[in-house]
Chains A and B, each alone.
Chain A
Amino acid sequence: MPEMVTVEFNGEILERERYVETIIHEGDSIEFIYYFGGGNYKH
């Protein structure tokens, strides 16, 4: 699900709209950065 992750592509944050068109080549660096909330919040 693209909404739950931020992608860093070669050191820059990749806009979600560009996920589909972005082509990965050998040597590219990709980081998936997930949200972390936490807590014991009562709904």
Chain B
Amino acid sequence: MKLTNEQIERYSRQIILKEVGGKGQEKLLNSKVLVIGAGGLGSPVLLYLAAAGIGTLGIVDSDKVDITNLQRQVIHFTDDLKKEKVLSAKEKIEKINPDVHVITYNTRVDASNIREIIKEYDFIIDGTDNFPAKFLINDACYFEKKPYSHGGILRFQGQTMTYTPGNACYRCIFETPPPKGVIPSCSEAGIIGAMAGLLGVIQASEAIKYLLSTGELLTNKLLFVDILNLEFRVINIKRNKKCPLCSESPEIKELIDIEQPICKISI
């Protein structure tokens, strides 16, 4: 694919970066990224990846836009209330950048469909809101040998890590989901929209770096962010020899749905 004059102009501010260049921009336009969850994390991820000219963006979400989403899910507008999130997100992306081909999946990922969905993509973003989905995405990406970015947020804090085949996976840190009721969700404990935005933007930049094969990825590292105290901390992580998924003698040999509804706790 050769860049058109309009594309050279549109992407000029990133094409002039030596890490991108014309070749890199062509790579981005030929890339496919899947964003699972078009919510607090998925919104900034989708907006920035669309603007950067990722050629194909897949969006998975089965929810409709709710008024409580609008405080942080910035791809959805007040006019979109009750609209399917995948449709609302697709409309915005197409307005930002007609170069982007959007594929929508108005569904939830589960063990029966996730491998089929992710195998078409070069990089996957976990923008989900619950632990069964987070573990499922990790397991599916491991089995399909796909790189992905994990993200989790709560209140004024968040964490993110990047998985690529051969490096530490989410289960190397957290072997299993937490028991029910231990970790609250954002709807229970609250979330600052800017926290979701910050974390999502880091996830988007991980995808871009991976696609361009440039810079340092957040592999074998976990970034912890606290914007209340403005603390950024990177914790080095090693592959866990006893990881139930990616060790030499794993307990998990095939993809299964994890029966753990999101936790409830009173705070």
Q: How many A-B contacts if CB must be within 8 Å?
A: 96
- Chain A residues touching B, majority SS: loop
User: Within 8 Å of chain A (Cβ to Cβ): is B141?
Assistant: no
CA distance A27 to B169 in the complex (A): 28
Q: Which residue of A lies closest to B196 (CB)?
A: A38
Report the stretch among B8-16, B27-35, B52-60, B174-182 that lies at the interface: B174-182
- Known A-B contacts A6-B174, A33-B173; the reply to A38 vs B152 at CB < 8 A is yes
Q: Which residues of A contact B40 (CB under 8 A)?
A: 38-40
User: Within 8 Å of chain B (Cβ to Cβ): is A20?
Assistant: no
Q: What per-residue 1/0 map shows which CB atoms of B176-220 lie under 8 Å from chain A?
A: 011100110111000100001000000000000000000000000
CB < 8 Å neighbour of A39 from B157, B186, B222 = B186
User: Within 8 Å of chain A (Cβ to Cβ): is B131?
Assistant: yes
Is the Cβ of B185 less than 8 Å from the Cβ of A40?
yes
Q: Which residue of B lies closest to A4 (CB)?
A: B182
User: Within 8 Å of chain B (Cβ to Cβ): is A25?
Assistant: no
Q: Which residues of B contact A41 (CB under 8 A)?
A: 129-130, 185, 187, 262
Is the Cβ of A37 less than 8 Å from the Cβ of B39?
no
Q: Which residue of B lies closest to A1 (CB)?
A: B182
Please report B residues at the A interface, Cβ cutoff 8 Å. Answer: 37, 39-41, 66, 68-69, 128-131, 134, 151-154, 157-159, 172-174, 177-179, 182-183, 185-187, 191, 196, 222, 224, 235-238, 240, 242, 261-264
